[in-house]
Amino acid sequence: MRRDLILRVLGKLLVPFVLLFALYVQFHGDFGPGGGFQAGVIAAAAVIFYAIIFGLPAARRFAPDWLVESMVAAGVLVYGGVGVVGMLLGGNYLDYFVLDHDPVHGQHRGIFWVEVGVAITVSGVMVKIFYKFAGRRRDPDRA
């Protein structure tokens, strides 16, 4: 794709908007279709799109392996941390009602942070799977 100038320019223009759309899906997931899983897949699709146009090494500079692997763990920690905070505040694990003085706001806040954790984990896992498959070398003995 090094010679396809139009595709490269459009790719650089589209990737930020795809990431912005992932944020939109994340933050408006409780008002309509969407949420953490969908937002994570859309964000990962932006990195994969970037890798297809500019190559795997460029994508690994854009989203390095250490960052992608950290995202997998960080998302799980955010998800689990919401449950632990609920327990520390006197509720059950993932009991969102205790996260605020108003139980409705606590419920909203808890679900929001759980969905953030899901988005981070899903995005990291999808990009890591892509990196593993795209980085494989072809075996010349196998045809």
According to DSSP, residue 37 is labeled: H
Residue 95's pLDDT is 85
Max Cα separation, the chain? 65
Per-residue pLDDT tens digits for 57-83: 999 999 999 999 999 999 999 999 999
Alpha helices in the chain (DSSP H): 5-27, 36-54, 56-62, 65-88, 103-134
Question: Alpha-carbon distance 124 to 76, whole Å?
Answer: 11
From residue 68, alpha-carbon distances to 22, 43, 48, 64, 121 in Å are 17, 12, 13, 6, 9
Round to whole Å and give the CA distance between 20 and 121: 18
Q: Do 79 and 40 meet the contact criterion of CB atoms below 8 Å apart?
A: no
At 100 the pLDDT is 84
Task: Write the pLDDT tens digit of every residue in 80-105.
Answer: 999 999 899 888 888 888 888 888 88
CA 38 to chain centroid: 9
What is the C-alpha separation between 3 and 29, in angstroms, rounded? 39
pLDDT score at 104: 86
- Judged against a pLDDT cut of 90, whether residue 51 lies above it is answered with yes
pLDDT at 119: 94
25-49 pLDDT, tens digit each: 998 876 666 788 999 999 999 999 9
Are the C-beta atoms of 72 and 125 separated by less than 8 Å?
yes
**Could you give the CA distance from residue 140 to residue 130 in angstroms, rounded to a whole number?**
22
